[in-house]
Amino acid sequence: MYESIEKLKDMRKKLVGFGDFPVLKEINTYKELKVNGDVIKLTGLMKTPECAISLVEVPGGLTMAKHLHEEVEVIGVITGSIIVHFENAVSQRMDVNGVITIPPFTPHTVEYLTDGTQWAITMPGNNDFPEGVFKNE
């Protein structure tokens, strides 16, 4: 029993906060992605066949080009405010703790109203995510 408790304590030491849920420290990374002169900071990334998870810091004023994913995408706002725009003229504003699920093959853009940090997950995993989304437009 004590061995199991020690294993749990060891696992807990390896966990860090990532939005509202913990992940292993090994996913922490740092990469700058440049989009039309703006710098997006990719500060966390994990890719598996089941899901791809990213943590990004994006400057306010940036609008991501219209795109879609073959996978389900879930976006959560940790800091800042964004608006997700869909082709059918529907938009959803999200502030801190806001979460949205975007179905596969749904064209959308993301407007970053303020500097902020967001997490995003695609399910199943996408090897081109998120780098493929943040391309020079």
- Domain-located, residue 115: yes
Nearest to 68 by CA among 122, 127, 137, 32: 122
10 sits in which H/E element:
helix 2-13
In a domain, 71, yes or no: yes
Output the tens digit of pLDDT for each of the chain's 137 residues.
Answer: 445 455 545 544 444 444 444 443 445 567 787 777 888 888 777 777 888 888 889 999 999 888 888 899 999 999 999 999 998 889 999 999 999 999 999 999 999 999 999 998 888 877 776 666 655 44
Assigned domain for 32 exists: yes
In a domain, 100, yes or no: yes
> Quick check: is 4 in a domain?
no
Domain for residue 8, yes or no? no
* Residue 1 maps to a domain: no
Expressed as residue numbers, the domain containing 119 is 25-123
Number of domains in the chain: 1
Cβ–Cβ < 8 Å for 63, 111: yes
* Closest C-alpha among 107, 75, 101 to residue 88: 107
Q: Helix (H, G, I), strand (E, B), or coil: what is residue 28? A: strand
Please report where in the chains the tokens 């700058």 appear, as a residue. 32
What's 62's domain CATH number? 2.60.120.10
Q: Give pTM, 2 decimals.
A: 0.73
Q: How far is CA 38 from CA 32, 54, 85, 130, in A?
A: 10, 18, 20, 16
